[in-house]
Copies of this chain bind each other. A is one copy, B any other.
């Protein structure tokens, strides 16, 4: 059994601890939380600490804190030559203090504390500076997820950027849809099946094949109708830019 400790008590730590609670291959020895109260779900047999001097020697120390705190936290760990990993998509492995063996354990997913999710479907992107450590991280990753990828720091940056497009920006487009519905006395529920189907389609079709709509058809009449309908300048600008991008992509094919 691999012994692990988790530093942090935010969304990622929260979901990671829940996932570890379901496997017998990993034992969470300690959770370090600045505010002990912030850990909602405590695993049985897991000690919660808030003082670095209490940190025990384990197989893997997982730093699950905000990006800008990773470097400092890694420096504060009072251990040496241990496997220490962070969980960030946008921070290089080299941000970790070199007194320990370094790696990355990045779950590629959008986490909200108030929304449960099936961790077995979360792609785990791992990286380690030596093969034995990679093997350890792979065992930990596979104990909680069915999808484990070897992703280096440069690729992880690409992935994190792509994730902003397909997750954060997409959700913002949902928000604009929500605003348009509200302004026209329509329930947002009416758009939900379309949103689900749009996401479902790219499981079997490539996004290029799945593309539909007036921009794809270069249907200027409908595009102009929509632009005339929109009164919010920000919505108009987004509509124009994404329409232009779809039309330009069509020309490249």
Mask of A162-185 contacts with B, CB within 8 angstroms, 1/0: 111111111111111110110111
A248: chain B residues at CB < 8 Å are 234
Q: How many residues of A contact B (CB 8 A)?
A: 94
- A212: interface (CB < 8 Å): yes
For A72, the chain B residues whose CB sits under 8 A away are none
Copies in the complex: 2
Known contacts A168-B211, A180-B162, A210-B112, A173 near B173 by CB under 8 Å: yes
Q: Which residues A66-84 have CB closer than 8 A to chain B?
A: 67-68
Interface string of A100-121 (1 = CB under 8 A from B): 0000000011111011010001
From A17-25, A55-63, A133-141, A187-195, the one touching the partner chain is A187-195
Asked if A161 and B180 make an inter-chain contact with CB atoms under 8 angstroms apart, the answer reads yes
In angstroms, Cα B167 to Cα A190, docked, is 13
Q: Are A246 and B159 in contact (CB under 8 A)?
A: no
Contact of A67 among B190, B221, B235, B237 (CB under 8 A): B221
* A interface secondary structure, majority: helix
A167 lies within 8 A of B212 (CB): yes
Q: Known contacts A158-B183, A207-B174, A242-B169; is A213 also within 8 Å of B164 by CB?
A: yes
A132 CB-CB contact with B under 8 Å: no
Please tell me if the beta carbons of A147 and B195 are within 8 angstroms of each other in the complex: no
Distance A235 CA – B165 CA, assembled complex (angstroms): 9
Quick one: which of A154, A191, A208 has the most chain B CB within 10 A?
Answer: A191
Identify 12 new A-B residue pairs, CB closer than 8 A, beyond the known A166-B198, A178-B208, A198-B199. A112-B205, A115-B205, A159-B184, A164-B226, A166-B194, A170-B198, A171-B211, A175-B211, A192-B202, A196-B200, A199-B199, A237-B241
Sample (16) of A-B pairs whose CB atoms are under 8 Å apart: A108-B190, A115-B210, A123-B190, A123-B194, A158-B180, A162-B180, A162-B191, A164-B226, A165-B176, A166-B176, A166-B198, A167-B212, A167-B213, A171-B211, A172-B246, A175-B211
The 3 A-B pairs with the shortest beta carbon distances in the complex, nearest first, are A168-B213, A199-B199, A175-B207
Give the B-binding residues of A (Cβ under 8 A): 67-68, 90, 108-112, 114-115, 117, 121-123, 125, 147, 149, 151, 154-155, 157-178, 180-181, 183-186, 188, 190-216, 219, 221-222, 225-226, 229-230, 234-235, 237-239, 241-242, 245-246, 248-249
